[in-house]
Structure formats: C-alpha cells, structure tokens
Amino acid sequence: MIMEVHRCRFVEYQPAACNTLDFTPPSVTMPRLACGRANGNIEIWDPSHKFRLEKIIPGGANMSVEALVWAHQTVLTDVEDYDTSEELEAAKKRQLAEKPRLFSSGLNPYIVEWDTVAMCAERFVDSNGGAIWCLAVNSTGTLLAAGCEDGCVRLFDIADGSLEFIRGFDKQKGRILSIAWGVNDMTIVSGSSDSTIKVWDVKTGKSIQRMTVDRVKKEETLVWSVAALSNGIVVSGDSLGNVMFWQAETGTLQQSFKGHGADVLSVVASRDGQCVYTAGVDRKIMAFRVVQVTDEKKAKKNNQKDTNQINGAQKRLKWVNAGNRRYHSHDIRALALHDSRAVNTLVSGGVDVQLIAVPAADFPNLIQNKLPPCPQKDLISVSKSRHLLMCTFFNSVTVWRLGKAMSSPGEIEALSAEPQLVEPQQAVLELKLKDENNLTAGVLSEDGQWIAVSDIDNVKLFRIQEDPQTPGQLKVKKQSRLEQALAAHLKSEESVGAHHLIFSPGSDRLLIATTDSQILVVSLSKWESGEFEVLCHFEEHRDGKNTNARRQIGTVTSMTVSADGQWLVTADHLNRIFVFNMDSLKPHAKLPISKTPYTAISFNPYRPNHLFVGLASNEFYIYDVEQKRHTEWSQKNAQKLPKQFLELRDRIMGVAYNPAQPDTIIIYGSTYLCSVDLTRKTGDKNAVLNLNKRKEADRQAELAIHKKRDQFKKVGVEQEAERTMSNGKAGQAKVAKAKYGETSFLVSQKYQQILYTGFIDANEMVVVERPKFSMLEKLPPSFYKPHFGT
C-alpha cells in the first residue's frame, strides 16, 4: 500500500521559555505542578502517569511570569467559633479538603491570584513596590511574602481566601531577587542585588542578620536564589556560580562550593533538609547531600586532654557534592522538588522550553523523562475539502494551502526516494489579533469558509473570502454580531470568552465551551442577515456534586463532534465525559468515570457512533454512544493491550482515521504513531512491532540477497541468480513472520514532536511536527566556557 504523507515542518510554533516552577504543598492530596512561561501562560501538570498536561491558563502581551507559588491553608483562623472538639475536627477536615490557590507575579507591581477552573485572574493586589521578582508562602498557607524592585519585602494576608497587604519591611539598597520562609515561619530570608543575604524578623519587619557573598572587582554579586532548611541552614546561589551554606542564627559561612560556571538561578531543598539541588546558566543540575564525618583534629585534641577517653572521635555534619547532570541545552531557570514517596520528582525548566522530570531520590543515576515542549491541545485545524491547514499561535492564526505531489501511482512507485512536489505549500492568510490576552482556541471550518478564535474575554468569528487583489490569497471579514448574540443569550453585560471551539461537520454550527463551563450551540445559517441564534446551552459541567454536597464546576478541556453531526462529546478536568444529541439538542449520556485521567477523545468518521477515549496510562477504549456501552472490540481487548504499547513514554494525544482502512486507527503521541487493526486481537503482551527496526532488518536482509545474486551473475549462472532472488524473498518473509509474529499494533517513531496527525483523503495523511532542532534555532546561544587548548 502506498501512502502519501504531507510532512509539515513549516509550522513555526515556538513555545515560550520556562521561568518558574512550583509544586503544590505536601498537604494537597492530589499534587500538581505549575509552570510559568515567558509569554504569561501558566501550565498545570499532573505528576501521575509520568506527567500529564492538565490545562493552560492563558497569559498575554507583556505578562511574563517571573514568580509562581501555590498556597494551601492548613490551619483555622477562627478556632474560638467552634463549641465542641467534633465541630473543630470537622472544620479542619473541610479546610484541608479545600483546593490550593495559585499566585503569580511578573515585571509589574501586581500579585495575581488565578482561578484554576475558569483559567482567568480571580483577584489581584498592587504591591506599590515596582516589579515583583519573587514570592514565598509560609508553611500554613496564611501569609505571602513578596520581594520587590524597590528593595522592600512586603507581607500579604491570604488566610480564608483573602489577598490583602499587611505591611512592608525596612527597605534596603538593592532589589529583592529571592526569598524564602525560615524555620517555624518566624523569619524570612532574602537575597538581593547588592551582594547581601538578610534574615528578617516577621513580627518587627527588621533585619536581624546580614550575610555578604563574594564580589569580583568591587562589582555587586546578584543572589539569585535562597533556600531555608529545616535545620536552620540557609543555602544561596549567586551570579558568580557559588553555592554557599550559611548558619542563619549566627550569620557565619559553613561551606562554599564553586559548583557552577555561571549564575546559579535556582536552589531547592528537601523537606528534611538533607538534600539540596541547584541549577543555572551553565545548564548543570547539581545535588548536595549531608554526610557525617569524623573531625580528626578535635579527636586528637580531646585525647590529649583526657587519656582515659576510649573514643575521642568527634562527629560533625558536612555537605558533599553528590553528583551532577546536564539535561538541558540552554540556561536552567527553575527547579521544583516534590520529595514525597508517591511523587519523588525533581523537575527543571528553562530557556530551551522543555521540562525534564527525574526521580529525586536517585539523582543523578536514572534516565530523565522529557516532557513534550509543545502543548498537547488542538493547535492545528484542517479543512479536508479545501486542503487548508491552520495553526493557532499565541496572538495570531496562519492558514496554509497544502502542497501537491506527483499524483500518478506509477510515477510514485518508480521513485525510490520521496515524491517530488508539483506545488509547494503556500501561506494564504495570516490573521493577527490586537487583544492583550493570549488565544485559548482557534478552529477552521471544514468548508474553509469560517475561522473562529477566542480568548478568556471574547469569541470572534471571521468569514473567509478570496482576495481579489492578490490571487491565491485569502482575506477575512469579522462578524461582530456574534459577540452581541452570545452576551444577550447569557444575559451578560460583558462579552463571552471560551476555552474551546469547534465547528459542526456541515460548517453550519459553532459549538463553544465558555470560560464558566457552559456549552453553547450557535447557528450560522442566517449569517448573511447578521443573525446568530444560540440554539441551546448545556450546563452539565457545572452541576456535579462532590462529597461535601457542593457545586463542583469542571473546566472543559476537550470537545469533539461526530462526522454526521449527530453527537457532541465534551470532557472536563474532573474526568467527566458527556454526550449530547445535536438533533434533539438534549443531553444523551454520561460515560463511566475512569480512575485514570483521559488525554484524548475522538469520533471515528466511518463509524459515527464510535467514540475513542485515550487515557493517561496509554490504555484506550471505544464507546458506542448510541448504545451507551463499550464496543465489542473494547469489551474483549481493552484490558489486554500490549505491555510495550502501554510503556511508551509519551501520552496519547489523538487519533487519525484512514478512509481506505475504516477499521484501522492511527494513535499518535508526541514522538510516535501507532497503527491498530480493530479487526484483530491485540496479541500477547509483547505484540508490538516497531516499524523502524523492522524496516532496517528487512533492508539488511535484502542487501544480503542482492549481494548473493550478484555473485552468481559474475560467474554467468543467471538461472541460479534468479532462483536465489525468489527463494531469498520468500525466506525473508518467513523469517520476518517468525521473528515479529502476528500483531495488530505497528509503531513508528520516525516523526518527532508531533502537533497533529490526520487524513484529508484515502491514503493521504497530514503530519505536523515541530522538531526540537527547529525550536533551538530560534533561541540565543547557550553558555559556553572555553577550556585551555580549545
């Protein structure tokens, strides 16, 4: 079978650098990792199942996230209001069951608290101190400390859902670059741009200890990072590459390591204070651990004083370099550590846009887990009928017309290399938006006549037209009345934002998942007269009940519609999946909630009732939405998937369907494609065929056959040469069958950093990939330290 593949590498999607990382506090039962990007986006990752990108809070222009912290209140501030111990214990349990709060700051004077469900700012407060370089929350989650540009540490009350300024500490000369809470929340440690580390008394706001780091030629050294350990030690990392261990009570330096070749930008420590990790501009992650050593000098001295002493050896604690690794290609700006037994992970991120997670307890011995640098969401939208492809960037969309190759099968078969392009791809439309917020969704209709985009404030609809002045190019006209229709339907004075958009297959309806988790169905049939009727809206994602019998709203994270337009399926971050009937405009079913989070949902266009659901464990099942049950294949095989497929490192992102093979699906992740034949059984636990290895083995075998045939030809035995060729091919097929067996899972890892995979016609596949080397080309040079003789 010959397949034409549009291998699209022209989509120059460039993720933003990672500036800051933070795990939720240990008191949170379901840990999450927040990653703040240079473009203002905040990613929420679920550490379970080798990390899963749960949602993205959109940023905006000039909204770089420089500091990011989670807060989880673990104490009650109104203990006296409870009459009995039972009421008090119940209140404590309710307090611990509250979800954590997320705060961020940047190069502006505002601290922002984010609504992680609606994915927008919930409240903010002005620090009145210029840019806020660092944030830290105390151990009980009731106080927030901020280090400001004007050299002042400011304290904020965040207890019981508040965010209020309390007071500022005494000002100092340099700006505050790093901050950490000391033991028992009685002190705060800060590092600044004037070469100093200070310990502050939280009650008085005055400095009680001052420590000075090294300087070079009287130039100020920047203390980029500090950490306060549970044993009273303060660790600092500075712009000279030094990692220093201080005794906070006396302000004395215990040990110093010239561990890095350049600035140390991040320091994190374990909760027990026994391990410290550092990273910075030189791309290196270092681990320091405490060991007990014998002080021989003291032992000899004591033995001289007391000859009857049997064991004069004196034990003391010492920090040692436990190892280092270079996982990144550019500066490491942030580290985050969660050392609980369930998570046990050290995560790093920086300029090279990729997050890398490693087991913390075993660092640096184990292999790293490289998380996909591109967001696993619908960036790509395709019009099959018009051969158009659209990518949604942070504040713009671009549309290309796909290229054409030699269409004759005979011509293609005659070529051993890739087919030549007759017409290359062409960018036909670029739409730049003036809004301050980053886009949350963008979609192109199947007929190629509509583009819809949204951010957290607005949904915009554009009609596509041919540009008469530039043949082959497209232009758009905005349909402003849609925004008015949405606001009127929801009785809102403000415009309506959305997290997800999708057009119906007939391009006559626009389906919207709003920021408050409502699903709107909008008719486009009367657009010429300027009418956009909201046919209905569903609130299933707002009506769930949790154990405390309170309303639980789920962020809608995925939407898909069947090829016949009858079924709409939406899913949220609470793992609830709902099915709606678009004919009757009524809810139809709710899928059973799986313990494992889902990562992808998709309808089979050639089996319109069959819904594919991929899970974070790389398991998947197919659900018949009309019959409200699993398909026969899933009932027999969903629990018997091959082990090698389940152990693939990347999570399932989506699935593609070839019109030429309606019962075969192509599942894809960030670094693989896997073809699954649904007419066959899954086979045994190892029944996965890696096409890359199979092709290489077949190529080597074929070369051996050709070599043997050529030897017979040289001696003039033509008949024997032909017999060798035919027997060799038959033997090769027999050996391959015996070696690889019969399997319905075929994996290819030819493509890397896949953004989208789909079919626009029979045996005509589109693969959009963003190779790592292409992303690195857009970055500044990485740190290089010359060595003697090089």
Instruction: Please check whether residue 329 is in contact with residue 352, taking contact to mean a CB–CB distance below 8 angstroms.
Output: yes
Q: Is the pLDDT of residue 564 over 50?
A: yes
Q: Is the pLDDT of residue 221 over 80?
A: yes
Q: What is the CA radius of gyration of the chain?
A: 30
Pick 147 or 545 by higher pLDDT: 147
Q: Could you tell me where the beta strands, DSSP code E, fall in 164-274?
A: 164-168, 176-181, 187-192, 196-201, 207-212, 223-228, 233-238, 243-247, 252-257, 264-269
| Pairwise CA distance, residues 755 & 323, whole Å | 36
Angle at 487 between CA 485 and CA 490, to 5 degrees: 105
Tens digit of pLDDT for each residue in 570-583? 999 999 999 999 99
Q: Is the pLDDT of residue 411 over 80?
A: no
Torsion (CA) 298, 302, 304, 307 in degrees, nearest 10: -140
Alpha carbon distances (Å) from 559 to 46, 571, 592, 749: 20, 7, 17, 27
Tell me which residue of 555, 569, 642, 660 sits closest to 612, measured CA to CA: 569
Indicate the average pLDDT of the chain. Answer: 87
Q: Identify the H or E element spanning 644.
A: helix 643-646
Instruction: Please check whether residue 403 is in contact with residue 395, taking contact to mean a CB–CB distance below 8 angstroms.
Output: no
Tens digit of pLDDT for each residue in 445-482? 999 999 999 999 999 999 999 988 888 899 999 999 99
Tell me which residue of 277, 339, 269, 274 sits closest to 31, measured CA to CA: 339
421 conformational bin, left if phi > 0, alpha if psi -120 to 50, beta if neither: beta
User: β-strands 764-769, 4-8: how paired?
Assistant: parallel
Instruction: Please check whether residue 477 is in contact with residue 465, taking contact to mean a CB–CB distance below 8 angstroms.
Output: yes
| Pairwise CA distance, residues 488 & 497, whole Å | 14
Number of neighbouring beta carbons within 10 Å of residue 431: 22
Tens digit of pLDDT for each residue in 765-777? 999 999 988 888 8
Instruction: Please check whether residue 430 is in contact with residue 396, taking contact to mean a CB–CB distance below 8 angstroms.
Output: yes
Q: Identify the H or E element spanning 410.
A: helix 409-414
Each as own residue / partner, the long-range contacts of residues 109-112 (CB below 8 Å, 24 or more positions apart, any chain) are: 109/148, 111/135, 111/144, 111/146, 111/156, 111/163
What phi, psi does 585 have (nearest 5°)? 55, 45
- What local confidence, expressed as pLDDT, does residue 643 receive? 87
Tokens of 497: 């934002």
Region 682-703: mean pLDDT is 60
For the chain, helix, strand, coil in percent to 5 are 15, 45, 45
Tens digit of pLDDT for each residue in 337-352? 999 988 999 999 999 9
β-strand partners of 688: 745
Least confident range from 1-5, 152-156, 279-283, 624-628: namely 1-5
* 187-191, 297-301, 307-311 — most confident range: 187-191
Tell me the one-letter amino acid at 375: P
715 CB contacts (<8 Å, ≥6 apart)?
none
Q: Is the pLDDT of residue 698 over 60?
A: no
DSSP-assigned letters across all residues of 594-609: PSSPEEEEEEETTEEE
Tokens of 765: 């596949």
Q: What percent of the chain has pLDDT above 70?
A: 86
Tens digit of pLDDT for each residue in 366-408? 788 999 988 767 899 999 999 999 999 999 999 999 998 775 5
Tens digit of pLDDT for each residue in 27-76? 999 999 999 999 999 999 999 888 999 999 999 888 899 999 999 999 99
Q: Is the pLDDT of residue 626 over 60?
A: yes
Tens digit of pLDDT for each residue in 104-145? 999 999 999 999 999 999 999 999 999 999 999 999 999 999
- What local confidence, expressed as pLDDT, does residue 724 receive? 54
Region 636-652: mean pLDDT is 89
Region 632-653: mean pLDDT is 90
> 649 falls in which pLDDT band (50, 70, 90)?
confident
Region 607-621: mean pLDDT is 95
| Pairwise CA distance, residues 568 & 266, whole Å | 46
Tell me which residue of 239, 237, 236, 227 sits closest to 263, measured CA to CA: 239
Q: Is the pLDDT of residue 10 over 90?
A: yes
Half-sphere exposure of residue 209, counting CA atoms within 13 Å on the CB side?
A: 21
| Pairwise CA distance, residues 643 & 684, whole Å | 8
Instruction: Please check whether residue 269 is in contact with residue 287, taking contact to mean a CB–CB distance below 8 angstroms.
Output: no
DSSP-assigned letters across all residues of 725-783: HHHHHHHHHHHHHHHH-S-SEEEE----SEEEEEEEETTEEEEEE--HHHHHHTSPPPP
> 736 falls in which pLDDT band (50, 70, 90)?
very low
* Sheet (strand 223-228) strand order: 223-228, 233-238, 243-247, 252-257
Tell me which residue of 759, 734, 766, 568 sits closest to 664, measured CA to CA: 759
26 CB contacts (<8 Å, ≥6 apart)?
271, 338, 340
Tokens of 282: 């030189």
Tokens of 18: 């990672």
Tens digit of pLDDT for each residue in 237-256? 999 999 999 999 999 999 99
Tokens of 524: 């486009």
Region 526-535: mean pLDDT is 94
Least confident range from 335-349, 562-576, 716-730: namely 716-730
- What local confidence, expressed as pLDDT, does residue 303 receive? 56
Tell me the one-letter amino acid at 390: M
| Pairwise CA distance, residues 87 & 37, whole Å | 43
Q: Is the pLDDT of residue 599 over 90?
A: yes
- What local confidence, expressed as pLDDT, does residue 316 receive? 75
Number of neighbouring beta carbons within 10 Å of residue 708: 15
Instruction: Please check whether residue 575 is in contact with residue 597, taking contact to mean a CB–CB distance below 8 angstroms.
Output: yes
Number of neighbouring beta carbons within 10 Å of residue 354: 23
Tell me which residue of 348, 145, 181 sits closest to 265, measured CA to CA: 348
CATH of 377-593, one of 3.40.710.10, 2.40.240.10, 2.130.10.10, 1.10.10.10: 2.130.10.10
Tens digit of pLDDT for each residue in 68-104? 999 999 999 888 888 888 989 999 999 999 999 999 9
Tokens of 759: 């079919």
Tell me the one-letter amino acid at 472: G
Angle subtended by helix axes 691-714 and 718-740, to nearest 10: 160
Alpha carbon distances (Å) from 401 to 10, 84, 388, 725, 772: 12, 71, 5, 44, 24
> 715 falls in which pLDDT band (50, 70, 90)?
low
- What local confidence, expressed as pLDDT, does residue 236 receive? 97
Least confident range from 22-31, 379-388, 780-789: namely 780-789
Instruction: Please check whether residue 506 is in contact with residue 491, taking contact to mean a CB–CB distance below 8 angstroms.
Output: no
Q: Is the pLDDT of residue 309 over 50?
A: no
Number of residues that this document lists for the chain:
790
- What local confidence, expressed as pLDDT, does residue 202 receive? 96
Q: What percent of the chain has pLDDT above 90?
A: 69
Instruction: Please check whether residue 740 is in contact with residue 640, taking contact to mean a CB–CB distance below 8 angstroms.
Output: no
Q: Could you tell me where the beta strands, DSSP code E, fall in 258-351?
A: 264-269, 275-280, 285-295, 314-325, 332-338, 345-350
3-class secondary-structure state, position 584: coil
- What local confidence, expressed as pLDDT, does residue 298 receive? 59
